[in-house]
Structure 1
Amino acid sequence: MSARVDLVAPPMAGHLHPVLGIAARLVREPDLEVRVLSTAAALPAVALTGAVGVELLAGADAEVAEVVDPPYRVGSNPRLLVRQLRATAALQVRLAAELREVWRADPPDLVLADFTMAAVGPTADALGLPWWTTHPSPCAIEARSGPPSYVGGWRPGRGPLGRLRDAGGRRFVRGFKRAAPRLAGARLDDIGLRSLYRADGSEAIYSTERVLALVPEGIEYPRALPAAVRYVGPVLFTPPSSAHPPGLAPGRRHVLVTAGTHVAWHRGALVAAAARAASVLAPRGVELHLSLGRAGASLPVGTSLPDGLVVHDLVDYARDLARFDAVVHHGGSGVLGHTLAAGLPAVVWPVDYDQPDHAVRLVDAGVAVRLERPARLAEAVLRVLEEPGYAAAARTIAADVAARPAVETITAAVRARLGVYGAAPGP
């Protein structure tokens, strides 16, 4: 018996790459047909997995990029959030219409969709298709206890007052989400949603059957999450690149500094902070390697770099990250997962979205220092390099990730759900 799995993801690396990692593993199963549905920008990477690519939202890649990676910080600014929500809603309406057309003509047996693709669930439900959610940032999932996300990175409150604060924060976040469609002039009915929340209080954009949380459970706070959530760990996939491996001078410690592929508006501050830090770290035998996040990227002509700072247009995480001694990153889900899997301590400099929530979790897991002031980057780097507890905690998490590869867990669950090979253990 054969079956087909459709995976749906946006073209942004932090969301697309985990889905591609799952697809690359599923295509190795002889009785599974695998398609990946995304925009044109993602299709070359899809082809590298061996899965069939299906284009959605033709001609909309520039619009998608403007929505998800604007040239400014969004943060908690209501005006900017509403603007982003309005543009997102228009794309989701179009996505729903295109998915209906594709799936009516050729329905899959199971759909796996990144959590940002809000139109997938209602469309799949309307057509009677089973669907699961993949979630690289499960801190964003609303729970019945614990701190909310997107409010600056809260730790769980302690005692009655702390729990009261958390409850108030959760109500605030839920209230904003309820008001957002009206503020953005969007109609939930246009993508098939009756409400943002189900009768049991869970968020309707997530599957009631399975939500695959793509981070190690060991870095998350205990929270009363929906029963569908399963922690499976990071899916580590990076499309092969033409980037040259970074040259690492022997006898020195090497630290990768990266802001990932998004938040381009942050790179100027990152370069300036790295340059200042390098002048302090070079005499201590530490060399900083700054990744600009995309092939062909370069610093402005005439930029002067101090000794101890090397700039790369792109560093291949899958191939090269483990060669470093530590990583300075922004808390994005992609580099976060790769850094944990490599067993490296980190300095986290969060700038937007879910990054403050990731940062506080990494700090409390003992694997990272949060950078509060850019001028103290050198101090933070030396701390994670020279205090052995950070590296030890990171190696412990890496061993757990290696012992239970997420793609194997997910593949077993998909097999069991589809009955392709009979029952198999799953998450």
Structure 2
Amino acid sequence: MQRLLDIIPPGVTRIDLLAPPFSGHLHPVLAMGRALSTRYQVRIISTHGAEARIQASGLVGLTLEGDYDTLLLPVVNPKYAVKSHPVRLYRQFRAVVGLLKDFADELEQVWLKEGVPDLAIADFTLPVVGEICRRFNVPWWSSLPSPCVLEGRDGAPAYCGGLMPAESRNDRFWHLIHRKKVRLFKRAMFWLFRDVIRQTGITRLYRQDGSESAYSPTRILALSEKEFEFPRTWPDSVVFIGPALYTPPTKGETPPFIAGKRHVLVTLGTHLDWHKDAVAKAVVALARTLPEWEFHFTDGDPAGGEHRRQGNFSRVSWVDYDRWLLRYDVVIHHGGAGIMWHCLKKGVPALVYPIDYDQFDHAARLEYSGRGIWLKGGLKSLENARPLLLRLSETSQSEKKA
């Protein structure tokens, strides 16, 4: 986070950081907040669902009064895969727009009551913050855990199944087609919801220079390493500050580690509940092929119940990555930015089983860089992952001995 501290403008004393209450968005903001709090007055603005974790992080929190958590959960954690399905994307976008309008109104009231900051840093899922900042004359930056989703004039676009870098003229042509497809879909959604969107103060999807108005025109904090991303032309506003990794402490139980055994963690993060039972079933089948190993499947719920055990398979509610990740020999994860960077930074080998959103793009980058193995065969690829686990585990053991 030193890079972040280095770019804060002179004269700034109070910084507000804003994020929704979901771990993949809130935890990076908490990581930045903790780093910034060593020099500045920091406040974290979110919903009631984030209060406990903000408090556990030792930071000051401002809570919006609306009942966002009940309404947000079915939007961000639906009972089906969204992917690029147009109807499902439409439904999700329609639900989000209304919530963002309410969020903007609540934020305005909070700043009127509590005072405005010298700088606001908002997670990329909160584009309405920019308009409120404009009204209050507050500088606004965007934080982006997945820089691959940012549109550009070249390179492999996101949300298209995990495209690899172009190696031929034909590849570059198809990348161009996919970029146009992504932009066309966004324009269509903006037009369909133009009346509701304009209530938030957002009047256009793209600025005159072609950049997306959802992101700050001044500074986009890319929470990644530039070398990890595929070659492309980045906007001048993008600054790579590295992954922002932090897990607030919880009172969850210790995962059931067994001395002398090798352990595998399987995680789909805090969302994707619609698919977790099916993945758990596939992991049970995989565990039978490696009876001398222990498999932990986490539901990603820090408030969940007790461990459930079936042979050498345990289903646990929560695994604190900061505390326990180094106890695992291999991780099987969905390609979320948080667990991906936790594994990369801690040197834990990973199999990647992407399911939705930007996860396929992360899987492509891991495979292309040789820092992960992309499981492309669906649930069957999980059930039959024994050879890959053995290979990764042996490599990991050799590296530890060296």
TM-score (norm 2): 0.90
Shift of 1:378: 5.2
Shift of 1:91: 1.1
Amino acid at match of 2:334: H
Distance, in Å, in 2 between the alignment partners of 1:377 and 1:25 is 38
Amino acid at match of 1:364: Y
Answer whether contact 2:329 2:393 (CA < 8 A) is retained: no
Look up the match of 2:33: 23
**Larger deviation: 242-251 or 357-366?**
242-251
Look up the match of 1:10: 20
Amino acid at match of 1:49: S
Look up the match of 2:288: 279
Deviations 1:359-380 (A, max 9, x none): 1111111121112232232543
Q: What secondary structure is seen at the aligned counterpart in 1 of 2:385? A: helix
Of the candidates 380, 386, 389, which is equivalent to residue 391 of structure 2?
Answer: 386
Q: What secondary structure is seen at the aligned counterpart in 1 of 2:212? A: coil
Amino acid at match of 2:57: T
Deviations 1:299-342 (A, max 9, x none): 99xx882x321222211111000111110011112211211121
Q: What secondary structure is seen at the aligned counterpart in 2 of 1:274? A: helix
Structure 1 residues 76 and 318: alpha-carbon distance in aligned structure 2, compared to 1, 3 A threshold: same
Look up the match of 1:215: 224
Amino acid at match of 1:376: S
Answer whether contact 1:115 1:134 (CA < 8 A) is retained: yes
Pairing 1:291–2:298 present: yes
Q: What secondary structure is seen at the aligned counterpart in 2 of 1:219? A: coil
Pairing 1:375–2:385 present: no
Shift of 1:263: 0.6
**Larger deviation: 255-264 or 124-133?**
124-133
Amino acid at match of 2:60: V
Shift of 1:287: 2.0
Look up the match of 1:329: 333
Structure 1 residues 220 and 381: alpha-carbon distance in aligned structure 2, compared to 1, 3 A threshold: farther
Distance, in Å, in 2 between the alignment partners of 1:107 and 1:22 is 19
Shift of 1:59: 1.5
Shift of 1:104: 4.1
Distance, in Å, in 1 between the alignment partners of 2:182 and 2:85 is 13
Task: Give the alignment's Cα RMSD to 1 decimal.
Answer: 2.3
Look up the match of 2:235: 226
Deviations 1:186-209 (A, max 9, x none): 443222222111111111111122
Shift of 1:34: 1.1
**Larger deviation: 36-45 or 238-247?**
238-247
Pairing 1:344–2:348 present: yes
Shift of 1:3: 1.3
Of the candidates 320, 323, 338, which is equivalent to residue 324 of structure 2?
Answer: 320
Deviations 1:45-73 (A, max 9, x none): 11223322111252221101121111221
Distance, in Å, in 1 between the alignment partners of 2:118 and 2:395 is 44
Distance, in Å, in 2 between the alignment partners of 1:9 and 1:111 is 11
Of the candidates 58, 73, 94, which is equivalent to residue 50 of structure 1?
Answer: 58
Distance, in Å, in 2 between the alignment partners of 1:132 and 1:210 is 5
Look up the match of 2:198: 189
* Correspondences of 1:397-412 after superposition (within 5 Å): none
Structure 1 residues 2 and 66: alpha-carbon distance in aligned structure 2, compared to 1, 3 A threshold: same
Distance, in Å, in 1 between the alignment partners of 2:394 and 2:216 is 38
Structure 1 residues 104 and 47: alpha-carbon distance in aligned structure 2, compared to 1, 3 A threshold: same
Shift of 1:114: 0.2
Answer whether contact 1:367 1:391 (CA < 8 A) is retained: no
Answer whether contact 1:74 1:81 (CA < 8 A) is retained: yes
Which runs of no fewer than 5 residues in structure 2 stay unpaired?
1-10
Q: What secondary structure is seen at the aligned counterpart in 1 of 2:211? A: coil
**Larger deviation: 34-43 or 211-220?**
211-220
Look up the match of 1:412: none
Amino acid at match of 2:17: L
Shift of 1:185: 5.7
Look up the match of 2:254: 245
* Correspondences of 1:346-365 after superposition (within 5 Å): 346-365=350-369
Answer whether contact 1:367 1:390 (CA < 8 A) is retained: no
Q: What secondary structure is seen at the aligned counterpart in 2 of 1:7? A: strand
Structure 1 residues 225 and 308: alpha-carbon distance in aligned structure 2, compared to 1, 3 A threshold: same
Amino acid at match of 2:67: G
Identical residues among aligned pairs (%): 40
Shift of 1:390: 7.0
Q: What secondary structure is seen at the aligned counterpart in 2 of 1:67? A: helix
Look up the match of 1:166: 175
Look up the match of 2:104: 96
Q: What secondary structure is seen at the aligned counterpart in 2 of 1:347? A: strand
Distance, in Å, in 1 between the alignment partners of 2:112 and 2:235 is 30
The count of aligned residue pairs is 387
Look up the match of 1:413: none
**Larger deviation: 1-10 or 317-326?**
1-10
What stretches of structure 1 move > 3 A for 4+ residues in a row?
Answer: 184-188, 295-300, 378-382, 387-392
Distance, in Å, in 1 between the alignment partners of 2:12 and 2:54 is 21
Which runs of no fewer than 5 residues in structure 1 stay unpaired?
396-427
Amino acid at match of 2:184: G
Look up the match of 1:153: 162
Answer whether contact 1:345 1:385 (CA < 8 A) is retained: no
